[in-house]
Structure 1
Amino acid sequence: MRRISLWAGMALAVAVLTGCPPTYPKCNNDDTCKEKGEVCVQGQCQECAEDANCREGFTCQANKCAPKPPECTTDTACGAGRICEAGKCAEAQCKDDSACNGGKCQAGRCQAPKDTCTAATDCGEGQDCQGGRCVAADASSRCDFAPVRFGFNESTLDSSAQSRLGDLAACIKASQGKITLGGHADDRGTEEYNLQLSNRRAAAVKRYLTDLGVPSNRLTTVGYGENRPVSNAATEEGWAENRRVEFQR
């Protein structure tokens, strides 16, 4: 009888223990952790156990979701015949000068001749971009055509940009010729979204200049999306350089 009572007591204790789930952050399975969006790892609720538990663009490191590091930061990380573009390894743009349309092949990238340009910002002080070449600027057109910068995912002009455009509007009205406003975005987000964002940025600059009296027919807008970066660095500084509107004359 005594033995039967002992076994009954042990069975009751097991039933009580197994009937009480552990208290967070301790766990037996994922059910204890799911309310917090976590998973059970070795008896403890954690943010992740594997990459699949993290959202896109993140990886599981020491049971924490962290941004995936870029595939590369320098060309040497990509191996022979490849270069690092926006944090990803890609095929080199060229092997020799013949692939560069009159430019030079340097470290797998085509470099345009020094006197060629697509905008006045490509040229030196006192020079202008005309017909794809840097030439001496006309005194009446020596305006501050430095690119207008934008915040992440923004197409509105901050106070600094508005102040610059106020000075630029007066300079443009005193000169002649048409200007193309080229909008650009960094490479975060889809290509289609970035194209639309770059168009909105160019349109915002045109609208501000025309409100200040610049004739609308002298300004043309075009959006290039993420396809013409000035920086390939996958950093906040590099992305900020690419969020811009350039003035092409």
Structure 2
Amino acid sequence: MAELQRHIVKSFDEELKQLNSRLLRMGGVAEAQLAAAIQAVAKRDVALADRTIAADAQVDTFQQEIDEQVTRLLALRQPMAIDLRAVIGALRLAGDIERIADYASNIAKRSKVLAQSAPMRPTNAVPRMGGLAQGMIKDVLDAAGTQDVEKAISVWMRDGELDELYNSFFRELLTYMMEDPRNITPCTHLLFIAKNIERIGDHATNMAEVIHYTVTGTRLTAERPKGDDTATFAGPDLDGGDDVDRVA
């Protein structure tokens, strides 16, 4: 009986490792997708944008596999305590990663539209924002892989910095639009790109909170650091919930 129990425990541990491995591979694809999307904006590379958009299907496949694996684990293993938190946490992390990939895909779509316009100096701010978001994703995935709560908290704390960059970029773009109406269309696309990056930071922060709860069993009780004050602007709905704005 003891031998059977050890076999069951070992088998369950292996399944958890497989789930975590699949989650990290999914995160790696989304991380690369964001990097490529930012590069497509900076270099006006339409072919790279198309490859970035196509990569979204791979992330969707990973999410479906994780959904199915989590369902099997819950039905057959009936995990408890930290094991249950790990399984449910993986499901939640996969959801955040899928949204990150959606935002990266949308950035790539808008980069194709921008490539048809004359180059604009404000575009240079996109790599700065994107680099910070990429760093947050990399660190939160590392935290997920190693169950490093301190690293997760450090990601959680950096969301305010990304918001500040977004605020600054937002105001710069408004200035460009007021100076010359011909700038309105490209600047609007840049505004949505910036908002997509800011949302990616929000999802990285969500992931940090999930990791903290999975490992410790307690929630982060401090107020989330936020610095986005653009919601008071009476203009296009750039902050209307978590839906990804679509480009036809």
User: Does TM-score exceed 0.5, indicating one fold?
Assistant: no
Calculate the TM-score normalised by the size of structure 2. Answer: 0.30
Richer in strand (by share): 1
Q: Which has the higher helix share?
A: 2
After TM superposition, the score normalised by the length of structure 1 is 0.30
Larger relative contact order (Cα-Cα within 8 Å, sequence gap ≥ 6): 2
Larger Rg: 1
